[in-house]
Structure 1
Amino acid sequence: MTDTHPELDDLVLPFAVEPLEARGRVTRLGRLVDRILERHAYPGPVSRLVGEMVVLAVLLGTSLKFQGRFQLQTRTDGAVDMLVVDFEAPDKVRAYARYDGDRLAELGSDATPEALLGRGHLALTIDQGAEMSRYQGIVALEGQSIEDAAHQYFQQSEQIPTRVRLAVGETVNGARHAWRAGGILVQFLPSSPDRLRQADLHPGDAPEGTAPHAVAEDDAWVEARSLVETVEDHELIDPTLTSETLLYRLFHERGVRVFEPQPVVERCRCSRERIVGMLRQFSDEERHSMVGDDGRIGITCEFCSTHYHVEPEEIGVDE
């Protein structure tokens, strides 16, 4: 029987390929992503989409060098019209999706992420707290995958050559099927800024016949990007293949250095205190309308499905 490595799941492993001046992170998510998807019992296509977003949020969120929140959120006209993944630095993740069951059924069980999302936008938000300005990047979703949207963001907003691979799938774990997910991100970070030059974005309204601006890609980046592009989905979710082994397969000819792995956990930010504080912000009329037939207010967290009962007097609602 092939050995699995559950102790190496739910970790992010930073790495550097110094001869190619490339850095990145690789992650394999086991119980973390399975708990999120199992709790919500999403249909298969929705689970895969949520899993991809969780992996991307983990790869990006673990790069934060401060205490704060990183959020990925989509708003689209597709069958899955909202996806939200919160990453609270340094290690906490939560996620949920909103979808139309009838439209999802029309698309079928083999619906692609592109078909599920439709058109809209992907927002990437960094919140460092009340005393700091929030940063938000927006990427238009026009039928592309989550991977492609991430590449578009880095090209437009960060202007750092970046390649991302994401994978989600089910594996047999004893008597039940379990979800797994994985991803790898590599970026070109040369010491010379001249080597970071990229082609200008298409101007859109340029006169007909205008030649697009072109810049040849750096050879080192072409090599790093091309190697990551060879990664197959099964390699990213295989419980018998460690992150270190995958990186060695990719970069052994150049040499790859790994750093201290960063654990990540599935953890919601909700609490009774937060719920009561949120309810107190509504108007008197709105708070009165929330009281149910049992004389209490019921609130269910969309992220973790925890149900809270709040007594009316706790939020200033009189008899």
Structure 2
Amino acid sequence: MSSQDVTQRFLFEHADVRGELVSLNQSYNEILAKHTYPEPVKALLGEMLAAAVLLSTAIKFDGLLIMQARSSGPLSTLMVECSSQQEVRAIARYSDDLSGEGLAELMPDGVLAITIDPDQGQRYQGVVALDGDSLADALAGYFDSSEQLPSRFRLLADGRTARGFMLQALPANRQTDPDERKETWNRLSVLADTLTVEELMALDNQTILHRLYHEEDVRLFDERSVSFRCSCSAERSGNALVSLGREDAFLLLEERGGEIEVDCEFCNTRYLFDRAALVELFEKARDHAQSLH
């Protein structure tokens, strides 16, 4: 299988069904290299990374897709951000005494929120319980209920490679008869279920589709690259300090011994601000405010 980080769409020419296959290697490993996660956390974070990329391609938007799972269990938070350019970053929070494996043990009674944050327009958020034995089950339940678009997911990750497969029904176009649509969806879903773990992790996309759907007329689109990119910056960190207000910011500076450290939780980059830097931040903020009047 190619070591590239790519996502690739496919479409059934004579049915209202589409799909997506994603493979993550370097981006997944870059994210894991920023933290020391236990193996079960690495696996679930990889699955969510693959899922976020799959969903980002299913929604037409310019901006950010955010998937966040929370629970009262030993794995309290999984969070993945994927831009409309398929740039990803992710983080997990867990207890020091973490034990168990799989979604049900690590995130019991969990909730999954999917947020679309467009560059222009209003944010949209959907929330669903983390029901089922896997993240793939929870996502299928979310789309079946809230979006009325039957969907099936396969998500796999082993701490080195993350793979995702999505099959999704589309609004009626090529097939308008409800019974015919249902029969087609059931047939394609049953075939998708025959894909083994070994095949998904080892085979390239074209081989997978031939293995599953060699009797169907399937169009495979060009690959699109996926990459790790953290959106943190000195400017954003500085803006966070300005939002505290001048008095509180300089009080914090005094409490921290003359230097404020702002750490990015996603990539562990540290931004340092001394008194001179803080003065400059508030002068720029003042000048910007005055320019608006």
TM-score with structure 1 setting the length: 0.81
**Structure 1 residues 169, 72: CA separation in 2 closer, same or farther (over 3 Å shift)?**
same
Matches for 1:178-257 after TM superposition, within 5 Å: 179-189=160-170, 190-191=172-173, 218-238=182-202, 241-257=203-219
Q: Shift in Å at residue 236 of structure 1? A: 2.3
Secondary structure at 1:244 match in 2: helix
The 2-side partners of 1:144 and 1:186 are apart by 19
Q: Shift in Å at residue 224 of structure 1? A: 1.0
The partner residue of 2:266 within 291, 303, 317 is 303
Q: Shift in Å at residue 293 of structure 1? A: 4.7
> What's the counterpart of residue 207 of structure 1?
none
Q: Shift in Å at residue 195 of structure 1? A: 5.3
Q: Shift in Å at residue 313 of structure 1? A: 4.1
The answer to whether the Cα contact below 8 Å between 2:175 and 2:181 also exists between their aligned partners in 1 is: no
What stretches of structure 1 of length at least 5 have no aligned partner?
171-178, 198-215
The answer to whether the Cα contact below 8 Å between 2:6 and 2:24 also exists between their aligned partners in 1 is: yes
The 2-side partners of 1:47 and 1:254 are apart by 36
Matches for 1:88-127 after TM superposition, within 5 Å: 88-102=83-97, 104=98, 107-108=99-100, 111-127=101-117
Q: Shift in Å at residue 310 of structure 1? A: 1.5
Query: Is 1:69 equivalent to 2:31 in the alignment?
Result: no
The 2-side partners of 1:46 and 1:116 are apart by 9
The answer to whether the Cα contact below 8 Å between 1:72 and 1:125 also exists between their aligned partners in 2 is: yes
The 1-side partners of 2:149 and 2:194 are apart by 20
Secondary structure at 2:166 match in 1: strand
The answer to whether the Cα contact below 8 Å between 1:279 and 1:287 also exists between their aligned partners in 2 is: no
The answer to whether the Cα contact below 8 Å between 2:16 and 2:175 also exists between their aligned partners in 1 is: no
The answer to whether the Cα contact below 8 Å between 2:14 and 2:174 also exists between their aligned partners in 1 is: no
TM-score with structure 2 setting the length: 0.88
**Structure 1 residues 25, 311: CA separation in 2 closer, same or farther (over 3 Å shift)?**
same
Matched letter for residue 182 of structure 2: D
The partner residue of 2:2 within 1, 5, 25 is 5
The answer to whether the Cα contact below 8 Å between 1:76 and 1:121 also exists between their aligned partners in 2 is: yes
> What's the counterpart of residue 45 of structure 1?
40
Matched letter for residue 62 of structure 2: Q
**Structure 1 residues 196, 315: CA separation in 2 closer, same or farther (over 3 Å shift)?**
farther
**Structure 1 residues 311, 62: CA separation in 2 closer, same or farther (over 3 Å shift)?**
farther
The answer to whether the Cα contact below 8 Å between 2:109 and 2:130 also exists between their aligned partners in 1 is: yes
**Structure 1 residues 73, 246: CA separation in 2 closer, same or farther (over 3 Å shift)?**
same
The 2-side partners of 1:273 and 1:286 are apart by 15
Secondary structure at 2:60 match in 1: coil
The 2-side partners of 1:263 and 1:145 are apart by 26
The 2-side partners of 1:94 and 1:161 are apart by 28
Q: Shift in Å at residue 21 of structure 1? A: 2.8
The 2-side partners of 1:286 and 1:231 are apart by 56
**Structure 1 residues 144, 20: CA separation in 2 closer, same or farther (over 3 Å shift)?**
same
The 1-side partners of 2:188 and 2:250 are apart by 56
Number of residue pairs the alignment of both structures matches? 279
What stretches of structure 2 of length at least 5 have no aligned partner?
283-293
**Structure 1 residues 65, 99: CA separation in 2 closer, same or farther (over 3 Å shift)?**
same
The 2-side partners of 1:196 and 1:50 are apart by 37
The answer to whether the Cα contact below 8 Å between 1:71 and 1:126 also exists between their aligned partners in 2 is: yes
Percent sequence identity over matched residues? 36
Secondary structure at 1:66 match in 2: coil
> What's the counterpart of residue 259 of structure 1?
221
Q: Deviations over 1:288-316 (max 9, x none)?
A: 23556552111111111111111244335
Matched letter for residue 234 of structure 1: E
Secondary structure at 2:195 match in 1: coil
Q: Deviations over 1:254-305 (max 9, x none)?
A: 1321012111100000011111011211143365235565521111111111
